[in-house]
Each structure stands twice: as structure tokens, then as C-alpha cells.
């Protein structure tokens, strides 16, 4: 039997925010239509996935009522450690796919399997010989990179920085050395409540001439992007919003 297709369904970037972005502002009609046809899902959290499906339903009616949709959650260790530190066999989650059913993979915000869990599900779909169809939607990393003015023709995303102050400083210096040596922009993210601490650590540790960009709440109300030399960041510090998710980028 020909397996179904695995659709990678992006979500808006307003997860956890007070004000929700109108879906049509950030999601193509084609993406919403493809999502509305699906009835079998793999997600990080069934509750927030249902809330998102409800928002889609208000724009493009869902093929099946919410109560009739099947939602399976990714196991906890995948959330915590990522798909690669704790490899697991996602094929059981894809039983409907094997039986010819199309399925959707969803993350809480942005593109599934990018800066988010889900790669193991995509791998399993390839193992089953299923077609994988990524749908267009917002991806905070790419938006932040484009808006930073830093090198977008050579860049790396390295996830989160260490939480320990000494290890974090070490990692910042390592990333700066790499960026200055190779010209490769280094991008990383942080959970909102640590934004201010990370910015402070960056401004203290980096060289004055290094360029530092911080993009906050992209696609959301009050979005901001600042891209400046570390020297300028020192001279004009910026108050940090502790709620909006941030993407940081450094480069020459």
C-alpha cells in the first residue's frame, strides 16, 4: 500500500502571547487549506495543537470536527533532549501514514523540526517511503537572519547557550571567534525570561567591533530588530522585554 504524505505544518509565532496574530497575516492560504484537510496529527502538545486547529477552522473549515481528529504527542524526552541526543523510533506514531492516511506534524511555533523537535518523525516517514511535504509559514530564525543585515550567505544556528554564566561566556567567545574567522553568522535563541541575562553577557564578552543583532517578537505586535556594533550596544543599552521570544545573531 502506498503510504500517506507527511505534511510539515508551520504555526504562527505567537505561542504564549497575549495578542494573537491574524492567521492570514503569516500563513499562506495554501498552507491553511492543506492543514484543514488533515485529520491525523503528531504534535508537541495536544491542547495547544487543538487551539491552533480551531484558529484554522475559523478561516478554512476543517475536514473533520476537532473531536474526531486524532492527535498524538511526541514523547517527553524528545522535547527535552531533542531528536538527536535521544534518538527514538517514531514509526509507531506513523501507523496511519503507513495505512495510506495523510498526516500532519505540528510544532508550538514556527516550522516543525527546525529549532524544535520533530526530525525523528520526518526520518521515520522517509524510512516508510512516504512523501514529505513542507508547507510555507513563519520561521523566526530566517526572519531574524534576513532582518539582521548579517551574512545570510553563510550562517549557522546553534540552538541555546549554556545556562551557567562561566560556560556561557566561554561559548560566546567560541562563537565570536568562529564568526570572525570564517565570516559565518552565528545564530542562537533563548527562552524569553533569560533574554536580558543573555544580552548582558553578550555585550560584556564580545569585542567592540563585533556586530550583534537581536530580533524580538517577529511577526508580532511590537516586533523589533536591532543590529549594531557591540560598542554601540554598550553606549545605548536597550531595555529587554522578558516576554517576547528573541533570536540573537553575531558576526563581523
Cα atoms in the 13 Å half-sphere on the side-chain side of 57 = 15
Q: Name the DSSP class of 222.
A: T
Say how far apart CA 56 and CA 228 lie, in whole Å: 38
User: Angle CA(32)–CA(37)–CA(39) in degrees, nearest 5?
Assistant: 115
**Binding test (CB under 8 A) with its own copies, winner from 128, 197, 223, 238:** 223
- Span 72-131, contacts to its own copies by CB under 8 A: 82-84, 111-116, 118-120, 122-126, 131
Nearer to its own copies, 69 or 116 (CB): 116
Shortest distance in whole angstroms from residue 22 CB to its own copies: 7
The distance of closest approach from Cβ of residue 228 to its own copies in the complex, given in angstroms and rounded to an integer, is 7
What strand order describes the sheet that includes 5-9?
Answer: 70-73, 40-43, 103-106, 5-9, 131-134
Q: Which residues between 40 and 79 bind its own copies (CB under 8 A)?
A: none
The single residue among 20, 63, 64, 158 that binds its own copies, judged by CB under 8 A, is 158
Count of residues engaged in binding its own copies, rule: CB under 8 A: 63
**What distance in Å separates the CA atoms of residue 34 and residue 177, rounded to the nearest whole number?**
44
**Near its own copies by CB under 8 A: residue from 42, 143, 172, 249:** 143
Distances in whole angstroms, Cα of residue 12 to Cα of each of 53, 62, 90: 12, 18, 25
In the complex, which residues of this chain contact its own copies (CB under 8 A)? 8, 22, 24-30, 82-84, 111-116, 118-120, 122-126, 131-134, 136-139, 141-159, 183-184, 218-219, 223, 225-228, 252
Amino acid at each position: 500500500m502506498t503510504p500517506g504524505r507527511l505534511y510539515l505544518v508551520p504555526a504562527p509565532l505567537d505561542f504564549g502571547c497575549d495578542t494573537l496574530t491574524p492567521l492570514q497575516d503569516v500563513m499562506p492560504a495554501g498552507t491553511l487549506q492543506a492543514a484543514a484537510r488533515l485529520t491525523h496529527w503528531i504534535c508537541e502538545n495536544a491542547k495547544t495543537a487543538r487551539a491552533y486547529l480551531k484558529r484554522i477552522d475559523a478561516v478554512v473549515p476543517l475536514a473533520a470536527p476537532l473531536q474526531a481528529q486524532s492527535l498524538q504527542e511526541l514523547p517527553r524526552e524528545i522535547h527535552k533532549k531533542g531528536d538527536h541526543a535521544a534518538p527514538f523510533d517514531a514509526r509507531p506514531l506513523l501507523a496511519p501514514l503507513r495505512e495510506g492516511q495523510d498526516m500532519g506534524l505540528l510544532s508550538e511555533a514556527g516550522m516543525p523540526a527546525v529549532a524544535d523537535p520533530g526530525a525523528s518523525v520526518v526520518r521515520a516517514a522517509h524510512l516508510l517511503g512516504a512523501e514529505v511535504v513542507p508547507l510555507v509559514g513563519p520561521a523566526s530564525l530566517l526572519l531574524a537572519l534576513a532582518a539582521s543585515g548579517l551574512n545570510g550567505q553563510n550562517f549557522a544556528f546553534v540552538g541555546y547557550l549554556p545556562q551557567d554564566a562561566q560556560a556561557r561566556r566561554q561559548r560566546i567567545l567560541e562563537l565570536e571567534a568562529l564568526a570572525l574567522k570564517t565570516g559565518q553568522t552565528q545564530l542562537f535563541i533563548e527562552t524569553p525570561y533569560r533574554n536580558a541575562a543573555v544580552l548582558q553577557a553578550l555585550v560584556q564578552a564580545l569585542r567592540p567591533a563585533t556586530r550583534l543583532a537581536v530580533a524580538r517578537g517577529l511577526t508580532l505586535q511590537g516586533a523589533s530588530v536591532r543590529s549594531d556594533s557591540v560598542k554601540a550596544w554598550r553606549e545605548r543599552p536597550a531595555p529587554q522585554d522578558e516576554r517576547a521570544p528573541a533570536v540573537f545573531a553575531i558576526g563581523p
